Amino acid sequence: MKRILQTLAVGVFAFTSLLPDGTALANEEVTKKEQKQMTTVAHRGASGYAPENTMAAFEKSVDMKAEMLELDVQMSKDGELVVIHDTSVDRTTNGTGAVKDMTYEELLQLDAGSYFNEAFAGEKIPTLGEVLDEYRGKIGILIEIKSPSLYPGIEQKIADELVDRNMHKPNNNKIIVQSFDHDSVMTFHSLLPSIPVGVLVGYSPNGISNVQLAAFSSYADYVNPNLSMIDSDLVQRIHNQGMETYPWTVRDELSADFLLNVGVDGIITDYPDYVDPHLPDQAA
Ligand code: G3P
Ligand code: CA
């Protein structure tokens, strides 16, 4: 599903061409259209329909024909890259404790599906490698480095996972790495400059200045703010700096329509069908 977001009539006009004797040749209508494609990103997988950051949610992203899935990466006590949003396992599993204090074997014992619905009992916390192996070539992957200050060296480990799979070269695997921690984004960019990177920006009443955007543009390809910060002026200013924007997180159709209208490049959503209403209803 490569949804055509906008068909912009950038010049619609009629003119009359005159022959040398002054007679009219024809009235022609010239219509120039510019079409733009928009990327739907399934947030933590299609997490409106399946437990976030599980293979079930990622599979749903593919079923729903999103262009990308988004996931959150952290690190276990013994150095495994694991896909989970919170820094503790309490909310999304049947266990308790900090991710960084648990070994991968301990994390693997947890049920990451039942909290959402018993129908998903037995879903596991995936590793980044498992997701890359399963979904490369099937759907783009937007990797968020979550709380990197807790995990020294996590940028190098993510880079290694991509290089080991030859996924750092331009091919049909669309990969983007992003974080709220902009130092971490810069570190990753310096390690693997062939992979596009994005800066996540949380809500601030001060907005995002042109000075900030210019700084981001020295290393980032994407500026991805909280959707409540977005208006057409900010989208234009991001574009003026040569970057794109994928705001987050859409959980209602009005927000999706608003973002479509102001010309964002992508939408990060729990409900991919809210962005493309032509998709079949995916609710279980
Ligand atoms: O991809 C953007 C979004 O995931 C950032 O917020 O808290 O859902 O990781 P969060
Ligand atoms: Ca995230």
Banded model confidence at residue 173, pLDDT cuts 50, 70, 90 = confident
The answer on pLDDT for 4 being more than 80 is no
Q: Which of 33, 61, 65, 66 is nearest to 46 (CA)?
A: 61
| pLDDT > 50? residue 164 | yes
The protein residue with its alpha carbon nearest to ligand 1, atom 5, reads: 248
257 CB-near residues (< 8 Å, 6+ apart):
none
pLDDT of residue 243: 98
Tens digits of residue pLDDT in 181-215: 999 999 999 999 999 999 999 999 999 999 999 99
Q: What is the CATH number of the domain that holds 177?
A: 3.20.20.190
Structural domain contains residue 22: no
Strands 68-75 and 81-83: antiparallel
For residue 268 and ligand 1, the question of a CB distance below 6 A is answered with: yes
**Catalytic status, residue 43:** yes
Angle between helices 232-240 and 210-217 (to 10 degrees): 40
Read off the tokens for 270: 């729990």
Flag whether 283 is in a domain. Answer: no
Whether 47 has a pLDDT exceeding 70, the answer reads yes
Tally of domains within the chain = 1
Query: Is 277 in contact with 269 (CB distance < 8 Å)?
Result: no
Does 274 contact ligand 1 (Cβ within 6 A)? Answer: no
The pLDDT, as a whole number, for residue 36 is 59
Confidence of residue 35 (pLDDT cuts 50, 70, 90): very low
Classify residue 108: in a domain, yes or no.
no
| 204 C-beta neighbours (distance < 10 Å), count | 10
Longest Cα–Cα distance in the chain: 89
Confirm whether 258 is domain-assigned. Answer: yes
Pocket of ligand 1 contains residue 270 by CB under 6 Å: no
pLDDT tens for each residue of 224-282: 999 999 999 999 999 999 999 999 999 999 999 999 999 999 999 999 999 975 555 55
pLDDT score recorded for residue 257 = 94
Establish if 207 belongs to a structural domain.
yes
Residue recorded with tokens 């998903």: 120
Pocket test for ligand 1, best of 248, 255, 268, 270 (most atoms within 8 A of CB): 248
Pocket test for ligand 1, best of 47, 85, 185 (most atoms within 8 A of CB): 85
Its domain, for residue 214, covers: 38-87+125-274
